[in-house]
Structure 1
């Protein structure tokens, strides 16, 4: 596994919630995280049907545009009873003519579970694939998952995406009700970063 020796890492995202999570985890390691927003980069079209494939699209676009090493995340919620959906289409479920609205996406997910009379508890998992790519084309890939269940109604105002309806296993609060620091110990992204720790000299 290649070690990351730099002090600045481009997080290939326009999602400032994700950027905040990465900065909270990598900041203590002496790494400054920047985002696509800092460089006014366009958002590449995610055309792959796997998390890894879409992460690679984002990482390659960011590295090519800036010459900086980039960490791309492709993540989503997989809800049992919805045939693996939303999965890689997690963000697509939130698309509207005026931008992404995850309240609409969460409502759709619950309504589809209700329509299918899905049994309870309605189990689900958040999945994250991290792809760290260097300007010379080398890359490392890491995966993390957080098991839990979908609950209704939405609960909590922190986090982002589907956090207000996802209650991690062994807990009685949703990600949306947890402080960022607490969520960062449990999240799929944190687990993928833990798997990647050796890249940052923290194995």
Structure 2
């Protein structure tokens, strides 16, 4: 089954393809089909993911899958949240993983409560007008480090420490991350729904 991924993030595509390929799902990025990215005007991961999925389905005529994910820090009231990918730009800094991480560390410099979680909302639609979108959420609990650790992953992975593993997400192998992450948890749930509602093998 071919599904359009409403993202042009190559690393996100790699993670999701590894999770969905065993079920016979082939993900193609919207960018490879010449589809521009959708606006993400909402304050929740689910609303943004649904908007992106409908946009990709409408432009491609194919079923679509969208991921909206980010970091939610307890002491920052859930920030950076849906603005995770461009957090630094809110403070006049360039958009990059390094700048986002730097800003986060500055905002948390004097905070004792370091609890945080990665959040992923996955939404799948059979068409742009699908009245029954499939929605799955995944959450991965951890703590924000005082300095980056590890070279792997992307985004906030070097700052997210998983106590049960004694390592930052950036110190995990791709296999470990794909088995445990917020995206993996949401994917398991979504695939279950797709088997039931879409009769996916």
| CA distance in structure 1 between the aligned counterparts of 2:126 and 2:116, rounded to whole angstroms | 33
Q: Does 1:155 align with 2:149?
A: yes
Cα pair 2:105 2:147 within 8 Å, conserved: no
Shift of 1:47: 0.5
Question: Relative to 1, partners in 2 of residues 1:63 and 1:100: Cα closer, same or farther, differing over 3 Å?
Answer: same
CA RMSD in angstroms, aligned pairs only: 2.1
Structure 2 residue corresponding to 1:67, chosen from 49, 57, 61: 61
**Deviation by residue 1:145-171 (Cα, 9 ceiling, x = unmatched):** 000011132122221111111112401
Name segments (4+ residues, structure 1) moved above 3 Å.
Answer: 94-100, 199-203
Structure-2 residue corresponding to 1:29: 23
Any gaps of 5 or more consecutive residues in structure 2?
A: none
Of residues 11-20 and 153-162 in structure 1, the stretch that sits farther from structure 2 once superposed is: 153-162
- Summarize the alignment of residues 25-174 of structure 1 with structure 2, pairs less than 5 Å apart: 25-95=19-89, 100-114=95-109, 117-120=110-113, 122-135=114-127, 136-137=129-130, 138-174=132-168
| CA distance in structure 1 between the aligned counterparts of 2:88 and 2:15, rounded to whole angstroms | 20
Shift of 1:92: 2.1
Any gaps of 5 or more consecutive residues in structure 1?
A: 1-6
Shift of 1:102: 0.9
Structure-2 residue corresponding to 1:4: none
Shift of 1:42: 1.2
Question: Relative to 1, partners in 2 of residues 1:110 and 1:94: Cα closer, same or farther, differing over 3 Å?
Answer: same
What TM-score results when the alignment is normalised by the length of structure 2? 0.89
What TM-score results when the alignment is normalised by the length of structure 1? 0.88
Shift of 1:95: 4.4
| CA distance in structure 1 between the aligned counterparts of 2:95 and 2:108, rounded to whole angstroms | 21
**Deviation by residue 1:118-137 (Cα, 9 ceiling, x = unmatched):** 115x1100011111011151
Question: Relative to 1, partners in 2 of residues 1:98 and 1:31: Cα closer, same or farther, differing over 3 Å?
Answer: farther
Structure-2 residue corresponding to 1:3: none
Query: What secondary structure, in the 3-state scheme, does the structure 1 residue paired with 2:49 have?
Result: helix
| CA distance in structure 2 between the aligned counterparts of 1:78 and 1:45, rounded to whole angstroms | 21
| CA distance in structure 1 between the aligned counterparts of 2:152 and 2:190, rounded to whole angstroms | 26
Structure-2 residue corresponding to 1:17: 11
